[in-house]
Structure 1
Amino acid sequence: MRRGNSPAKGSPPSQSLLRRANTALSQLQSLLPSSNPPDEESPITVIRLSAPIISSASAEPPVSRSSDVSNTSLTHPPSGPTPSSLEADLLHYKELFSKLRFSYVEQVTKEKFIRAIVGDPPLIVTPQENAELEDSNKIAKAELKALKSEVAGMVKDLEFRGRELAKQYERVQTETAQLRELPSKMEELEREIARLKEEQQVGEGSRAELNLPLAKTLQLVGGKKRQMQELDRQLEQLRNQAPRKKKEMERLQGEVAGLEQKRTNSMVAAKEAKRRKEDKGGRGGVDELEARGRWYRGSEAVLRGMLDIQG
C-alpha cells in the first residue's frame, strides 16, 4: 500500500475546508449592515446606539441652559469616545441632574407655598396631615432607596455585559479578519502541496525506499536499527581502547623524536665527513674516518676467516 498514490473518494479535504471558510465569510458579511461594504469597518459604539435618542431629543424645541457641555461632543466626536471620556461625561451629567433636581424641588416648593398663601380660601395644614405626609414620605423614600439599589445593580450588570460584549465584538472582528485571509492562505498551501507531490513523483525512481509497503518499511527500519546498535557497540569499544592507544602514541612519538634527533646528528656527521673527504681527496690524502673504516673492515674479514664464519 503506497502512501499518497491512492485516489481519494469525493472532494479533497482542503476543498471542503475552503468551501466552509467561504460559507462562513459570506454569512458574516450578510450580518453586516447593508449600507456599508463588507470590507469596511462598522464598529458598534455608544454614539451609534445613542443616535435614536439624540435624534428624538433634537426634534424637541431647544432649551437654553448654562451647561459647559454641548451636544456636539456626542453627535460629532473629534477622535471617538474613550472609556475615560465616557466616565467623565457621565460624572458631569450626574452633577447636572442633581443640580436640576434640587432646582426643580425648590421651584415646586415655592410654587406650592405661594399658592397656599394666596389661595381663596388659604390652605391650612393640620398636624395630623403633616404626620400622615411624613409617613407616606418615609414609605416613598424606602421604595425609592430600593429602586435606586435595584437600578445600581442593573447598571453594574449592564456595565459587565457591555465589557463582555466589547471583548466578544473585538474577538469577532479579529476572527473575521483572519477568516478573510484564510482562503488565500489555503490556496497557497494547496499550490505548495501540489509542488511537493510533483517533486515526490519525480524522485520516486531515485528513492524507491520511500514507496515500500508497510511490512518492508518496518523490516528496513529494523535492519537500520540493528546497524545503529552495532555501530554504537563498535564506537564504545573504540572509546575504551582510546586511552591505551593514546599512551602508545605518546611513547611512539617519544621514540620518533629520539630517532629524528639521531638522524639529524647522523646527517650532520655525514655532511662533515663528506666535506673532509672532498677536501683531502683533492690533496690525494685519506680521511681519518675512512682509514678507520678500512681497518674495521679488514679486522672483520680476518676474524671471519679465523672463526670460519660465512656471511
Structure 2
Amino acid sequence: MLSSEGPTTSDSLQSIIKTVDEQKLKLHFQKQIQHWKGNQENPTIEDDRTEKLDVRGLLLANPKNMEAELKFHKELFSKLKFNFLEQTTKEMFLKRVLAVPTTWTSPQEIAETDQRIKNMKIHLKAFKRETEAAHETLSSLVDQVCNEHEELLKGRNRAAELLEKMGPLNAEIAEILSNFDPEKKTLSELMEMNEQLREPVQTLQTRLETLETQLSSTLSANETHLHDIAQLESAYTDLSTKIAEAKQAVQLRDPRLDGHLVWCQSWTAKLMELSGIVRVEAVNIDELVVEFSPNLVSGSGIAAVLDMQIREVVEGANKMMVEAKLANVKLDISDIVQMANNNHMSHYAGSKSSSQRSTATTSPMHIISLIVQETRTRLTTYFLRLKEKEQLETKEPCLHICWDIEAGLVEVGISSGQIVQVKLDMDYPKHYSCMQVVSVEGCDGQEVGWTVEDIQNKIELERIGTITGLIEALSG
C-alpha cells in the first residue's frame, strides 16, 4: 500500500477535482441551455445521459403549448437533478478515500500474512475432513438409532397384539377352571400328557412328509420308466421288423456274396494296414476317430489319434464339412482340413445336376480320405524328424543341438566353433529345399568362418536334405 504524501498533495488533488467538476458542471449547463434555446450553430449537442429533446415546434406563440413546455421543463429538471446527485456522490467518495491515511506494509509482514493464511487454510481443510468424518459417523449412528427405533416400534406392536390375544385366552382358561370336573384329570396332568405326546407327533409328521416326498419321486420315476418302456417297445418292434427283413434278405441273397464280403473285409484291413491305420471307430453319426499306427517310422513309439467331426453348413443349400484335430501329437493340420473342405466345396459347386449335388453333400468320404492321407504323410515326416533328433542326441552327445520339432527350428554347433540356425519346412526331409539357413554365429566371440549364403549354397550344390548330412558336410 502507498503512504500519504502530506496535506499539500491532498489539498491540491481536492482543488483539481473541484475545478474539473465546476468546469464540467458549467459546460453541462451551457450545453443544456444551448440545446433548450435551439442553437443553430451546433444543433447536435446533447448530454451523454439525457436524450435529445426537440421542443422547437412546441415553443410557438400559442397558449395550448404551455403544457408541453411545462412537461419539457420537468423532464429537464429531473435529468439535471440526477446528474447533480451523481456528481455529488463521486465527490463524497473521493473525499473519503483521500481522508483515509495510508500506511506502508513491509514484505516481511506480507509474507507472514500469507503464511498465516496458508496455515489457516491447512487447519481449515483438516477441520473440514474431521467434520466430514464426524458427519458420516453421526449419520451412521442416526441410521442405526432409526433402525433400532423401528424394531422397538415393531416389537411394541407385536407385544400389544399378544396382549390383545391373551385377553380372550385368559377368559377361556378362567372359564375352564370354573367348569372343571374333579372326577376328570386335572389340568396339570393334561398338560404333562400334551408335552409327552408332542415329540412323537412331530416325529410322525416328519415321517409323513418324507413318505410323501418319496411317493412323489417314485411316481415321477414310474412315469419316466413307463415312457422308457414305451420307447423300448417301439424300438424292439422296429428291430424285430428289421431282423425279419434281414433274415428274408439272407435267405434270398446269393451264396457267393459271403465270399465277396470276406474278401472286401480282408482287402480293407490290408489297405488300412498299409496306410498305417490301426483302428477306425464311428463314435456316432457325425463323429469318426482314426488311430494311426505308432510304427509308421520304426522306433517312433507314438500313436496319433485323428478326431473328425462332420457338420452341415447352410449356405444356399446343405453342404457337409469336416472338422479334424490330432491328439497325442502337437501337430497342426488346420491347413490340411481347410484344403480338403475347399476341394469339397469346389466339387459341390462344379456338380451341375441335383443328384450330383446331393451325393457331394451327403457323402463326405472323399474329404475324410483326403484328410487321412495328408495327415499320414505329415505324421511320417514328423516321426522322421523325431527319429533323426533322437539319433543325433544319442550318437553325438557332445554335439550342441537344439531342435524344436513343432516350430521347425534347429540350432546345431559344428567343429569349427560355430552355431548354425536352420528353419525347416513342414515337408522336411522330403527335399533339400526344405532347409533354410537363418543365421551363423561364433562361439565365445570366435570369428565366423561360414556365412549364411555359403552354407545355403553348399546345401543346394551338394543337395543336402537332412540335418545329419549338413553336420557331416560342415564338420568334414
User: Shared fold by TM > 0.5?
Assistant: no
Give me the TM-score of the superposition, normalised by structure 2: 0.20
Q: Larger relative CO (CA 8 A, sep 6+): 1 or 2?
A: 1
Give me the TM-score of the superposition, normalised by structure 1: 0.28
Q: Higher strand share goes to which structure?
A: 2
